[in-house]
Structure 1
Amino acid sequence: MALPPLPAQRTLLLLSSRLHAQMPFVLRLGSLGWQVHHFADLPSLKCFLHDRDDLVAAAGLIDLRDLGSEEAVAELTPVLSHPRLGCVAMTDARTIADDSMRQLVRDCCFDFVTLPCPDDVLDTVIGHAFGLAWLGRGTTYLPHDDAGFGGMVGESPEMRSLFRLLRLTASNDAPVFIAGETGTGKELAAMALHEHSARAGKPFITIHCESSAPGALLSMLAGHEQQRGRIESAHRGTLFLDEADRLPLDSQAMLLGLLETGRLMKPGAEDGIPVDVRVISASHHDLEAAVAEGRFRADLYHRLSVLRLQLPALRERGEDIEHIAHHARMKYASEYGRRIKGFSPCALRQLQAHAWPGNVRELHNRVRQAVIKAEGRYISASDLGLNNEDALPALTLDEARAGAERDAILTALRRNRHRIGESARELGVSRVTLYRLMNRHGMRAAC
């Protein structure tokens, strides 16, 4: 994925009680194109960051020589972890010898320099820190109102259409069949239907039909004359049958009777038991093929498929790949206590190039493993196990420019919650121009 170019005017936040705005050291940075904001103490820097919501990215040059107390370290940690700030620590031999300072630098800073430091080294390090902050800008990915449903995330046209169908389907009580490849989130969709229905708060019972022997599955579902089965446990709630094509014929007959009469007939019992349950089923196999082969009853298939939903494969969802990756990164970084800022450019390219045979589940697994083993603040393609550069498509310069333009528009739209006027102002174009560019790149305004 092509990335927008770095801005000509770069912002540097300098925290130091020893350095001043008119010192040659600071003036030299200004002559190199840095817009330097100097802060003599930590509260001043915190106020600046709090007030500057418009700050897109900045390098931070933090003088740790006078900030050695445990209290200062505790106050510095959230500041240095600011999502739009790439920090470089300035230390001396005494300061960096302190255990708490070493941990602070390791966990919260992109790099550090030991003073005195050659100018060219410092220039390279703070330039790199700004570049990484620029790459990570706007990755909080707060979706607008139509960008998710019941824990499912996505802004692609395919997912927006699915979310609308899920909302409509949740208000109904008819049986639903969910089709989709392995890992596309069929159980998550079923849970979302349950939680947004009138049955929310009642039992949601999942049966994995492929994991039990035929006789055991019938017993599990229906129970016995003196024993409740899973269907009774789902009374007034939802029963989710995963991999429903693996239902044995005896279980199919029992389930058909339940759907036709609303009564559960237990093995060996003379009378049925009334059960109020909504049945949601799913499979990554072709259920119609199972009917044609005689492995699945046609009458049950039609009963289960009153409403049918098709979950799109991840490779068909375009920009959602990066969107989901960032959500997974934030989730697992919080879970494992890792300060991971984002993905490297190579990682982003490989995320788009990979075929994702395991779909969203595979993406989550790769990001979780990458968060655990990443050595830097940004996840690399190698961390994801996706380091085959030969698999990346070759780009012409025109394609690269078009990709950069598209990514810049997407970033502005996400940051401004898809408000066209504010996004246009951020991009420095008129509303008409932004609409024209969105149309050129196949985007559409949020409804």
Structure 2
Amino acid sequence: MRLQVNFEDRVGIGTAVLTVLARHNINLDGLEMLTQTDRRGALFMYAAAMKLDDLQRVTVEIRAVPGVLDVRPIPLLPSERKQSELRTLLSALPAPVLSVDLQGRVIVANEAAQQLLKLKGADGQGTALAPLVDNLDLVELIDKLDRSRYGVQLAVRGQALLADVFPVLVPVGKIGKSLSGAVLVLHGGAATPVECGADLAGFQSITHESASMRALIRQARRMAPLPAPLLIHGATGTGKAALAHACHLAGPRREAPFLRLNAADLAEDSAEQILFGAGEQPGLLEQGAGGTLFLNEVAGLSTGLQLKLLGFLQTGRFRRVGALQSWRSDVRVIAATREDLAERCREGRFRDDLYYHLNVLSLQVPQLHERQADILPIAQAAIEAASRQLGIAPPRLTAEAEQALLAHPWPGNVRQLENTVLRAVTVAEAGAITAEHLALGPAESADEVSDALFAGTLADAVARLERLMLTRLYPSHPSTRQLARRLGLSHTAIANKLRQYGIAGGAAASRN
């Protein structure tokens, strides 16, 4: 039996009410009190053993206590009602959600989390989650949680998951707030499948026969549903935009807009107006509300735009150019770059605080020469696409053409391969694409290369080899830092050699 006693607040009224229950030998299983600013309050009591006859007797006596205004039975205590509402709310969430204390024990978990993590007991309460996490110290993570963390990788019961981790802070007198635990929202695993239709339109359209691309797509699928910013690294032509669009289609924003801005192609004033809006004209942040904004070549943003973008990522608010009023927009930002942003931060050419906000989640797209198993499937898909555009039957690749495709270094990556195939389809004859149609140039034989290298002095040969290597590698490693790591030299030495041989503009290359 549960009772609510409404009263006028005075010293000792709670003791007087409880004395009535004690006279009838009624034990309490729950007790809660609520006081209000108008000096009124309510006492909520739960006595599991109380019978109907007991209720009638104690009600009369409690009403006789000075200051008591009303006594009535209730179905639930306030805390029980809150727990019931919380369970209903958590059950309605499709994602697995759970709360843990500072020792990594589960306080409450919704049904999706219980099924995913195989938690026992009511709401999974009391389960020690920390020992089940294989790849990190969950207790240490929670203990150091000073802000929300997105995309934390967890390995739980053999499952690779991503978790958004939010600190639970409780007021402590006048000293502020104290950390009491964390709420985890899990992504990945059997409890959060991606809709097949969206996946087929996105990730399945990206060729990933190679091991490196399969690993990338697995990682991207786990990150697609998350609201946190995503930074995609990759050389020119590797397919960063296609990967960003696939992440959009595989996430909960798939029905909302997917908008793009190439930061490197616009002047600062134009980019600012397009991104934030001006006057009565909304910008991409407003137009893409609820969806995804893809910022390609984000390293090209000016210092001023970097600061404004940082403000939006921190607060979710922005101002149109020349306006005083601010707007709020729920848009996920996916950025892409071919530059080493960490290095640009060290050089003072990119804001490190913006880099940290963009780099909450990150993906690295491999270059085409690193994914040999994808070259022929990409070529075949390009042949079929070009043939549809031309309204012809798709020509086949000859064995020599396939060998030429596999042997080419593809410094321009997927984009170069697709353009090469498109050109070949337009000139192919007799339903076949030959090595000549690809126009990749004859491969040098080992003897020809040796003759070239051994001509002249040793210094001449070394210089020719250096020039050849730098010329071949620079398009796929377009910064001195990347090229230095590839060749095991300092970036200063690489910059000097690029300048010496007149590669990539020499002086311009030395600044990268």
TM-score (normalizing by structure 2) = 0.47
Q: Deviations over 1:242-276 (max 9, x none)?
A: 00000011111111111101111233333321110
Larger RCO: 1 or 2 (CA < 8 Å, sep 6+) = 1
Work out whether 1:313 is the aligned partner of 2:367.
yes
Structure 2: runs of 5+ lacking an equivalent: 1-198, 449-512
Paired letter, 2:341: L
Distance 1:199 1:153 in 2: 23
Equivalent in the alignment of 1:365: 419
Residue 229 of structure 1 and its aligned partner are, at CA, apart by 1.1
Residue 409 of structure 2: which of 355, 368, 382 is its match?
355
Equivalent in the alignment of 1:48: none
Paired letter, 1:287: L
Equivalent in the alignment of 2:159: none
Paired letter, 2:273: S
Cα distance change on mapping 1:378 and 1:391 into 2, 3 Å? farther
Cα distance change on mapping 1:391 and 1:358 into 2, 3 Å? farther
Structure 1: runs of 5+ lacking an equivalent: 1-144, 395-447
Equivalent in the alignment of 1:172: 226
Cα distance change on mapping 1:356 and 1:393 into 2, 3 Å? farther
Distance 2:348 2:319 in 1: 24
Residue 204 of structure 1: which of 249, 258, 261 is its match?
258
Paired letter, 1:331: A
Distance 2:226 2:309 in 1: 20
Paired letter, 1:168: R
Whether contact under 8 Å (2:395, 2:425) holds in the other structure is: no
Work out whether 1:162 is the aligned partner of 2:216.
yes
Equivalent in the alignment of 1:223: 277
Residue 280 of structure 1: which of 326, 334, 344 is its match?
334
Residues 259-268 or 347-356, more deviating: 259-268
Instruction: Calculate the aligned-residue CA RMSD, in Å.
Output: 2.0
Distance 1:391 1:319 in 2: 24
- What is the 5 A alignment of 1:113-262? 149-262=203-316
Whether contact under 8 Å (1:258, 1:265) holds in the other structure is: no
- What is the 5 A alignment of 1:37-116? none
Asked which structure has the greater CA Rg, the reply is: 2
Work out whether 1:376 is the aligned partner of 2:376.
no
Distance 1:366 1:338 in 2: 18
**Aligned with 2:372: secondary structure?**
coil
Whether contact under 8 Å (1:338, 1:372) holds in the other structure is: no
Distance 2:447 2:216 in 1: 29
Equivalent in the alignment of 2:393: 339
Number of aligned residue pairs: give it.
249
Residue 392 of structure 1 and its aligned partner are, at CA, apart by 8.6
Paired letter, 2:224: A
Whether contact under 8 Å (1:241, 1:281) holds in the other structure is: yes
Residue 226 of structure 1 and its aligned partner are, at CA, apart by 2.6
Cα distance change on mapping 1:195 and 1:393 into 2, 3 Å? farther
Equivalent in the alignment of 1:100: none
Equivalent in the alignment of 2:459: none
Q: Deviations over 1:74-95 (max 9, x none)?
A: xxxxxxxxxxxxxxxxxxxxxx
TM-score (normalizing by structure 1) = 0.53
Equivalent in the alignment of 1:132: none
Q: Deviations over 1:21-68 (max 9, x none)?
A: xxxxxxxxxxxxxxxxxxxxxxxxxxxxxxxxxxxxxxxxxxxxxxxx
Residue 225 of structure 1 and its aligned partner are, at CA, apart by 4.1
Distance 2:371 2:446 in 1: 18
Whether contact under 8 Å (2:225, 2:251) holds in the other structure is: yes
Distance 1:391 1:241 in 2: 43
Distance 2:293 2:446 in 1: 43
Work out whether 1:266 is the aligned partner of 2:320.
yes
Residues 238-247 or 218-227, more deviating: 218-227
